[in-house]
């Protein structure tokens, strides 16, 4: 069997067998031509890291005991991954404004605003804003940052939706928005806690998600799973519902919301340690079709969630350790049909690099500056 047809310079091959079936006495070898530089065939297994871009053709010959040798012509194209670009601001508020401006170049009739100091409300807003085709900006609790004000002026919305209660976005900020953008209607959507807030926003008749046959469920007490799940949810016109992942079962309010949305499929983002098995079981008790996407860590978990994407011309990389730089990315990624992957500060986990091979993006965008993700991420250094 030939190795993978497409590979990338500097990204490890997924080891694969040269044999179509297990045969301890068979020996595979390259009889004509040669493997791409950096690729090896050892013990009948293709592996290695391509070092040179280009197309290589070679003949693979398999010799079995007492059977004539079999040969096939193989071809491998080694590509060079796109050089990543960055969207980076001087702080989390300027970052959100720059993320918004990267996609919503012609303005937007609707804009969502959430706290940049806490992640829960922005995580709730990301997928909903994406379904509505609107950007998400961030604010301080007590004052509207200058960069957010400037982006709102540029966007010139008819409606501004403030997500979260007064403890997250003060009445002073709402009053400032109302006074400064007099042509826009300012509406606050909130709940008693982050979970009620998530339900309230999704259910809002004007600014929520009216119908969703597929809904993603993620823990609301941590950010990585919901962050990665938001673009995948937007791709199916569904929201991310935040839940208390430590609960032993889904609440009646959560089940009622899903029923009202017409949901048939629930996709849980994260393993049982973040969203309990009890929640999964209760949702699947003759109510909904439930699947779970998870991995041994947050980076592999995001990869599992993003298997929903079969193609993507743009590929976002965000920190899996700190949340601010990527909070506003969900609506932008959703508009582009692009996934968001999580990476470490100084390297890109190998499962994420394999996604570059799978999706073959033409553009890779790093969210945040060097303080969040170092220059080694620009070089796609593997972890």
pLDDT tens for 284-338 read 999 999 999 999 999 999 999 999 999 999 999 999 999 999 999 999 999 999 9
Whether 76 contacts 6, CB under 8 Å: yes
Residue 1 has pLDDT above 90, yes or no: no
Whether the per-residue pLDDT at 22 is higher than 90: the answer is no
Domains in the chain and their CATH numbers? 6-79 (2.60.40.10), 85-378 (no CATH)
- What is the SS3 assignment for 103? helix
- pLDDT mean over 141-150: 98
The three-state secondary structure class of 84 is coil
Q: 135 vs 24, which has greater pLDDT?
A: 135
Mean pLDDT for 333-347 is 97
Q: How confident is the model at residue 207 (pLDDT cuts 50, 70, 90)?
A: very high
* % of the chain beyond a pLDDT of 90: 95
Given a contact cutoff of 8 angstroms between Cβ atoms, the answer to whether 32 and 60 are in contact is: no
Q: Is the pLDDT of residue 24 over 80?
A: no
Across the range 185-206, mean pLDDT stands at 98
- pLDDT value, residue 109: 98
66: pLDDT strictly greater than 80: no
Of 23 and 63, the one with more pLDDT: 63
Q: Any idea which residue has 């790093």 for tokens?
A: 366
pTM of the model as a whole: 0.94
Mean pLDDT of the chain: 96
pLDDT at 153: 98
Q: Which helix (H) or strand (E) holds 212?
A: none
Q: Interhelix angle for 329-336 vs 120-132, to 10°?
A: 30
Predicted pLDDT of residue 56: 96
Rounded average pLDDT over 12-22: 90
Task: Please tell me the predicted confidence (pLDDT) of residue 25.
Answer: 84
In whole angstroms, what is the distance from residue 22 CA to residue 164 CA?
58
The helix or strand, by DSSP H or E, that contains position 202, with its residue range, turns out to be: helix 194-203
Q: 216 and 238 in contact (C-beta within 8 Å)? A: yes
């Amino acid at each position: 069997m030939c190795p993978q047809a497409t590979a990338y310079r500097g990204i490890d091959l997924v080891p694969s067998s040269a044999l179509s079936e297990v045969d301890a006495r068979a020996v595979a070898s390259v009889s004509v031509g040669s493997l791409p530089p950096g690729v090896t065939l050892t013990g009948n297994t293709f592996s290695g890291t391509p070092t040179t871009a280009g197309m290589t053709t070679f003949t693979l010959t398999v010799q079995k005991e007492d059977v004539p040798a079999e040969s096939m012509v193989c071809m491998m194209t080694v590509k060079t991954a796109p050089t990543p670009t960055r969207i980076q601001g001087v702080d989390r508020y300027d970052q959100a404004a720059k993320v918004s401006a990267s996609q919503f170049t012609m303005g937007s009739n609707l804009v969502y605003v959430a706290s940049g100091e806490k992640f829960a409300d922005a995580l709730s807003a990301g997928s909903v804003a994406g379904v509505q085709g609107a950007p998400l900006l961030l604010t301080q609790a007590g004052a509207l940052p200058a960069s957010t004000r400037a982006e709102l002026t540029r966007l010139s919305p008819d409606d501004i939706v403030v997500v979260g209660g007064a403890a997250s976005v003060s009445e002073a900020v709402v009053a400032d928005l109302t006074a400064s953008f007099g042509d826009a209607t300012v509406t606050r959507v909130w709940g008693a806690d982050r979970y009620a807030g998530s339900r309230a926003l999704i259910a809002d008749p004007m600014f929520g998600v009216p119908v969703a046959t597929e809904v993603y469920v993620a823990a609301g007490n941590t950010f990585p799973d919901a962050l990665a799940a938001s673009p995948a949810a937007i791709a199916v016109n569904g929201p991310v519902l935040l839940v208390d992942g430590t609960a032993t079962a889904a609440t009646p309010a959560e089940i009622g919301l899903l029923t009202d949305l017409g949901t048939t499929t629930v996709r849980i983002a994260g393993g049982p340690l973040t969203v309990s098995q009890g929640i999964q079981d209760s949702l699947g008790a003759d109510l909904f079709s439930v699947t779970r996407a998870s991995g041994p860590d947050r980076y592999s978990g995001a990869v599992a969630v993003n298997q929903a994407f079969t193609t993507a011309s743009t590929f976002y990389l965000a920190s899996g350790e700190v949340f601010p730089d990527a909070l506003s990315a969900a609506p932008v990624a959703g508009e582009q049909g692009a996934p968001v992957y999580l990476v470490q500060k100084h390297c890109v986990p190998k499962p994420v690099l394999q996604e570059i091979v799978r999706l073959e993006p033409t553009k890779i965008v790093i969210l945040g500056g060097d303080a969040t993700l170092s220059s080694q991420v620009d070089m796609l250094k593997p972890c």
